[in-house]
Amino acid sequence: AERRSWFTAAEPKAQGRGCFLSNHTKPASFSQFLGNLLVVPMDGSPWVGFKAIAQEMGRRGHRVTVVMPETTIRMGPGKHYDTLTYPVPYDKTYIDSVMSKHKDIMKKSSQPFMEKIKKRFTQFQAISDFLHITAEKLLFNATRKLGLPTVNLLRGIPCHLDMKSAGCPSPPSYVPRFFTGYTDKMSFKERLINTLMALVEPLFCRLLYWRFDQITRDFLGENVGVAEVLSDSDIWLLRSDFTLDFPRPLMPNIVLVGGINCNVKHPLPPDLDSWVSGQHGFVVFTLGSMVSDLPEEITSVFLEAFRQIPQKVIWRYTGKVPDNVPENVKMMKWVPQNDLLAHPGARAFITHAGSHGVFEGLCHAVPMLMVPRNGDQPDNAARMASRGVGIVLNILDINTETLLKGLKEVINDSRYKENVKKLSDLHNDRLSDPLELSVYWTEFVMRHKGAKHLKSALHELYWFQYFSLDVIALLTTVVLVFVMLTAKCMKLCFRKLRRKRKQE
Amino acid sequence: AERRSWFTAAEPKAQGRGCFLSNHTKPASFSQFLGNLLVVPMDGSPWVGFKAIAQEMGRRGHRVTVVMPETTIRMGPGKHYDTLTYPVPYDKTYIDSVMSKHKDIMKKSSQPFMEKIKKRFTQFQAISDFLHITAEKLLFNATRKLGLPTVNLLRGIPCHLDMKSAGCPSPPSYVPRFFTGYTDKMSFKERLINTLMALVEPLFCRLLYWRFDQITRDFLGENVGVAEVLSDSDIWLLRSDFTLDFPRPLMPNIVLVGGINCNVKHPLPPDLDSWVSGQHGFVVFTLGSMVSDLPEEITSVFLEAFRQIPQKVIWRYTGKVPDNVPENVKMMKWVPQNDLLAHPGARAFITHAGSHGVFEGLCHAVPMLMVPRNGDQPDNAARMASRGVGIVLNILDINTETLLKGLKEVINDSRYKENVKKLSDLHNDRLSDPLELSVYWTEFVMRHKGAKHLKSALHELYWFQYFSLDVIALLTTVVLVFVMLTAKCMKLCFRKLRRKRKQE
């Protein structure tokens, strides 16, 4: 969920077979409609949601084809769908090198400030290159433009590009901008900064997406950018929920499916189940698919803190397991995260605050200790902290004392558990499961060849028309002319009056 | 659906028993939760929706109490709920006299223009008085303020008061104002008028609601108006749908339940069923609960037109049945409107374009001939016409030729049927039935004692903060000071430079 590009985030494409024209007026008969679904997923953690939808659509009898690069982070075949691969000029080693940039940055050292900035930039560049190459190879491998109705599944696109393309107003007075970590209740200073962010956004977006805009233009042969292509989308499946995010205006083609992976759970394997059982419960510790191990000095800080708590700790860690691992800590290359969090013994969740993890923690009401790194993670963490369901630590500044203090607080202070329980009740109380919603809207788009009636009419307006600037200009001119004429008139009258008086 | 006031539209009030704190995290266990529901319905056609929800909530085991005045237009007892009445200083004759104002206005005559305006105003005043009296008697009969979480069921409140109170932005560039009859695609002139409407709205609202504001202040003893009270609402069940209305930004506590009465249908009584059967089908003609008969001259225009079509006509008409009724016309005091429209023989629907009727026509895909009168009817009619599912006629200008032409057009031009079929497919294709949705959200509010997490944060901002005017003022000042200082600096520099040059 960390990073997404316009294209890789904007994905499952649905095409109906045309049989939607058969005679049906009741939803029941819609179930007989079957069609073809093309899925172009985003790699990394977003794959979780794409896979769930692809499998469920296939299970219902649709023909589902998932397109993926030959080399991927975690995508792969599954039940009920076919895969189609396209060649990419990189291998697993390249992907690993891109991913390892995350670890590099966390290395504690006496690096000068500029060195750190440079590393950050290198990381950004590596990831951008990776996304650009993948997008180009995908597009220019296809033989023709598809022109199919589109359903997007996403957590959000930097620059609010998703909201802009869908036509949702985002008043800066209560809609916090990406990367600010603000809530919907801002002080004057925060609103000032938020408004400034909103003002520079258009320029920032141009810079951030110029290469994708270039790819779009080259591919389509038209003078359109990413935003224009995205605004053609029919349905936006947004992995959001108002227990995590703040209430904001949405257009009707935005469907909230936050927590899509929550109900996909299984009992723990017996050996793991017996290991975690114990009167003090256990802590789940994962940092997402992008960061699977840590620099040695940070690892030892965590181990030292874990040694001093009575809880057991399950830690997803793919690196070399150190020698001095305490007895209550189990380091595993892969953990059934959702199943662990669903276990009644889960007392705390140490997470990088990626959206999937946060939703799983919310779903199962586990207090969180959050160590966000990049992308939407700092915002997610700030939002959860503002609801009193966890605390945020900076993994770069962490030491055994601060970590231990934070960990003990979320485990022992019952307010965190109470708050997360209340929020979890709200999050889980819904009429339709997010996966069911996703599948329904995907099928809707297939049945009706789109969902034009839900699209904002602002796409047919120029930006100055949208903001009514032309109307305002006319009204201002009219008022000004009226005021000027009145002034002139009065002047003339006064002059005449004066002259008259003089004559008298 | 014609008229609604802040209070009578803002109604079912739900209170949980507190047992929502019992241990449940899954939606399934929520079904065991039972509570008390207080329903304060709006009289007239809105009662249809209120009754449906009250009955379903009662059927599920909640204790439902419906509060209504002793004398009502159409409210009454039903299955699964209790009623509680409060005294009002009027009787059925008074209500009839208010309602008959609708008929008065339609009387064709050589009335001068001012006379017509005066009649319109008298009608408005009569209805306002009726609503004010009812609201006052309801409030001041209650012994204390309730302080309960609130769910509103409504079609919309004049002045966009519902949207304002819920915090939904309504950009005048593509959100048409009440009573304009515009679509979401407006010409420059239309946008100009729409923007002007948006600008005068705040003043217009003050005037329209000043008496309700007064009642609110008197009752609560606080300096708050209707808008402030409404902004406390938890959930807004809006009888809207994007097959009727245009896509616009909505806040997450707005739930669309347009078409709530569509699936409540029964087979026709055998005698009616055999009467309407025939190769040419039939036309359904109703003008809503507010207008049940017509001035004689208009009635004869309709009868003359009906005489010239092969279809049968079922006409809801409570007035005196004229002598010259053609054989293909059946005038009835009450008709099962939804059941008739659901019948495959229904070829056209002559309607006043009240929202319930329009949704029933949409639901069953019947082309419409619309003769809107007041309230949201002209807007509804314009919206349906813009989708090509019917045509609009002015009942005051109607004559046999125009009526016959319009009627033949909607019956025989297959494009109307095709368009309404497509729109109907979209309208009926939904994951949850509107009644199910209404009940779910009412129960949600009972379970969680409100739905604060869905409320816009703008309610905590002053209007100038919402529009970021304070931030803009500061930024403008900073820019101005900067520009002035730079200008001064440059002036000084130039002066020095010139002096220097002179010295050289």
**Which chain A residues are closer than 8 Å to B196 by Cβ?**
475
Q: How far is A429 from chain B (nearest CA, A)?
A: 5
Contact B191 A246 (CB under 8 A): no
Q: Would the CA dihedral through B460, B175, B262, A151 be positive or negative?
A: negative
**Which chain A residues are closer than 8 Å to B457 by Cβ?**
174, 184-185, 246-247
Higher pLDDT, A76 or A8: A76
Contact B431 A432 (CB under 8 A): yes
**Which chain B residues are closer than 8 Å to A448 by Cβ?**
425-426, 429
Mean pLDDT of the A407-412 span: 96
**Which chain A residues are closer than 8 Å to B389 by Cβ?**
none
What does the DSSP assignment read for B320-351?
PPPTT--TTEEEESS--HHHHHHSTTEEEEEE
pLDDT in tens, B236-286: 999 999 999 999 999 999 999 999 878 777 889 999 999 998 899 999 999
Q: Which of B167, B453, B467 sits opposite A242 (nearest CB)?
A: B453
Alpha helices in A4-91 (DSSP H): 6-9, 27-30, 47-59
Q: Which of B421, B453, B455 sits opposite A243 (nearest CB)?
A: B453
Question: Residue B224 has what pLDDT?
Answer: 86
Instruction: Count A/B contacts: CB-CB distance under 8 Å.
Output: 174
- Mean confidence (pLDDT) of chain A: 86
Residue B263: alpha-carbon gap to chain centroid: 19
**Which chain B residues are closer than 8 Å to A437 by Cβ?**
431
Using DSSP's 3-state secondary structure scheme, residue A79 falls into coil
Q: How far is A287 from chain B (nearest CA, A)?
A: 26
**Number of residues that this document lists for chain A:** 504
Contact A429 B437 (CB under 8 A): no
Contact A454 B424 (CB under 8 A): no
Residue B38: alpha-carbon gap to chain centroid: 22
The CA distance from A391 to A388, in Å, is: 8
The CA distance from B456 to B451, in Å, is: 11
- Burial of B431: CB neighbours in 10 Å, binned 0-12, 13-18, 19+: middle
**Which chain B residues are closer than 8 Å to A468 by Cβ?**
171-173, 191, 195
Domain limits of chain B? 6-169+233-261+433-458, 270-428, 471-503
- A449 to chain B: closest CA residue: B426
Q: Measured at the alpha carbon of residue B121, what is the angle toward residues B116 and B124, in degrees to the nearest 5? A: 130
- B440 to chain A: closest CA residue: A431
- B438 to chain A: closest CA residue: A431
Name the CA dihedral angle for A469, A473, A475, A481, rounded to a multiple of 10 degrees: 170
Q: Is the pLDDT of residue A349 over 90?
A: yes
Contact A173 B30 (CB under 8 A): no
What does the DSSP assignment read for B246-291?
PP--B-TTEEE-TTTTTT---PPPHHHHHHH-STT-EEEE--TTT-
Contact B468 A171 (CB under 8 A): yes
- Lowest pLDDT segment from A23-32, A101-110, B37-46: A23-32
| ipTM for the assembly | 0.85
Contact A440 B457 (CB under 8 A): no
Select from A25, A192, A231, A262 the residue whose CB has the most chain B CBs within 10 Å, as the one to mutate to test that interface: A25
What confidence category does residue A234 fall into, taking pLDDT thresholds of 50, 70 and 90? Answer: very high
Q: Of the segments A9-23, A233-247, B145-159, B194-208, which one has the largest average pLDDT value?
A: A233-247
The CA distance from B91 to B93, in Å, is: 5
Contact A456 B424 (CB under 8 A): no
**Which chain A residues are closer than 8 Å to B470 by Cβ?**
188, 191
pLDDT in tens, B47-68: 988 998 999 999 999 999 999 9
Q: Are A465 and B173 in contact (CB under 8 A)?
A: yes
Q: Which of A27, A432, A466 sits opposite B428 (nearest CB)?
A: A27
Q: Tell whether domain A6-168+231-261+433-458 is in CATH 3.30.110.
A: no
- A263 to chain B: closest CA residue: B26
- B198 to chain A: closest CA residue: A468
Superfamily of domain A270-428: Glycogen Phosphorylase B; (3.40.50.2000)
A135 Cβ contact list (under 8 Å, min separation 6): A5, A7, A8, A212, A215
pLDDT in tens, B85-124: 998 999 989 888 888 777 777 765 556 778 878 888 888 8
